[in-house]
Amino acid sequence: MITIGSLCLLPTILCALCVAGLSNAITRQIAVALLWTQFAIATKIVFPVISGESPACNFSDDFGLDVYGAVLLSLTNFVAACSFTQAAIYFNCKQKDRVTPNKDHEKSFYFFGALLLIAMNFVFISENMGLLWVSVEATTLCSATLVYHERNKHALEATWKYLIVCSVGIAFALFGTILFFAASQQTGFEGTLDIRILLERASTLDPKFLQLGYIFCLLGYGTKAGVFPLHTWLPDAHSEAPAAASALLSGSLLNCALFAICRLTELVMMTEHHVIASSVPIGWGALTALTASLLIIRQTGIKLLWAYSSMENVGIMMCAIGLGTPSLFVLMAVNHSLVKVALFLFSGNIIQTIGTKRINRIRGVLQISPACGLGVALCACAVTGIPPFGSFVAEWLILQSLVKKNELLAAAILFVAITMAFMGVGKHICYMLGGRAKSSTRTKIPFVSLMVPLILCLCSLLLGVSTLTQMLLEVL
Partner 1 sequence: MSIVSPQEVCLTASALVACLILGSLHVRVSLWLLGFESTLIALATGLFFLHTNERNLGTLAVLIFLSKGCFVPIFLAWLTEKLQAKRDSSCFLPVPLSMLLCIFLFALSFQLTRQLPQHHGAEQSFFGAAAGISQVFSGLVMMMTRRLAISQVTGFLIIENGIYTFALTQTRGMPLLVEMGVLLDLLVAIMVTGLLMFKIQQSFEHIDVTQLRDLRD
Phi, psi of 344 (to 5 degrees): -65, -40
CB atoms within 10 A of CB 30: 17
| Shortest distance (Å) from residue 115 CB to partner 1 | 10
| Residue of 30, 48, 150, 161 interacting with partner 1 (CB under 8 A) | 161
**CA 108 to chain CA mean position, Å:** 21
CA distance 123 to 110: 20
Contact between residue 470 and residue 397 where contact means Cβ atoms under 8 Å apart: no
Q: Which of 44, 96, 103, 154 binds partner 1 (CB under 8 A)?
A: 154
- By three-state DSSP, how is residue 325 classified? coil
Under the binding rule (CB under 8 A), the answer on residue 444 touching partner 1 is no
Q: Could you tell me the smallest distance in angstroms from the CB atom of residue 169 to partner 1?
A: 11
Out of 127, 240, 395, 407, the residue judged to bind partner 1 by CB under 8 A: 240
Q: Which is nearer to partner 1, 61 or 97 (CB)?
A: 61
Which residue, 424, 206, 463, is CA-closest to 305? 424
Neighbours of 466 (CB within 10 A): 11
Residues 194 and 137: beta-carbon distance below 8 Å: no
CB of 241 to partner 1, least distance (A): 13
Name every residue whose Cβ is closer than 8 Å to that of residue 48 and which is 6 or more positions away in sequence.
54, 57
Which of the stretches 97-105, 167-175, 280-288, 382-390 binds partner 1 when contact is defined by CB under 8 A? 167-175
C-alpha to C-alpha distance for 148 and 132, rounded to whole angstroms? 25
Which one of 82-90, 149-157, 390-398, 452-460 is the stretch in contact with partner 1 (CB under 8 A)?
149-157
Nearer to partner 1, 174 or 450 (CB): 174
Q: Which residues contact 246 (CB under 8 A, 6 or more apart)?
A: 238, 239, 303, 306, 307, 344, 348
Among 19, 53, 98, 188, which residue interacts with partner 1 (rule: CB under 8 A)?
A: 188
Least distance CB 212 / partner 1 (angstroms): 8
Among 15, 88, 163, 338, binds partner 1 (CB under 8 A): 163
Question: Quick check: helix, strand or coil at residue 271?
Answer: coil
Residue 252 per-residue DSSP state: I
Examine residue 372 and tell whether it contacts partner 1 (CB under 8 A).
no
Nearest-angstrom CA–CA distance, 135 and 100: 33
CA distance 313 to 378: 17
Residues 6+ apart with CB under 8 A from 397: 328, 331
φ, ψ (nearest 5 deg) of residue 126: -75, 125
Under a CB-based contact definition with an 8 Å cutoff, are residues 112 and 146 in contact? yes
DSSP state of 54: S
Identify which of residues 138 and 403 has a Cβ nearer to partner 1 in the complex: 138
The site string for partner 1 over 35-74 (x = CB under 8 A, - otherwise) reads ---------------------------x------------
Q: Which is nearer to partner 1, 138 or 386 (CB)?
A: 138
Q: Interaction with partner 1 in 81-140: which residues (CB under 8 A)? A: 128, 130-131, 133-134, 137-138
- Answer yes or no whether residue 145 interacts with partner 1 by CB under 8 A: yes
The smaller minimum CB distance to partner 1, of residues 11 and 324, is found at 11
x/- binding map, residues 400-439, to partner 1, per CB under 8 A?
A: ----------------------------------------
d(CA 306, CA 187): 47
With binding defined as CB under 8 A, does residue 198 bind partner 1? no
Query: Applying CB under 8 A, does 196 fall inside the site for partner 1?
Result: no
Smallest distance, partner 1 to C-beta of residue 231, A: 13
Applying CB under 8 A, the residues found at the interface with partner 1 are 62, 128, 130-131, 133-134, 137-138, 141, 144-145, 148, 151-154, 156-161, 163-164, 167-168, 171, 174-175, 178, 181-182, 185-188, 190-191, 193, 206, 208-209, 236, 239-240, 300
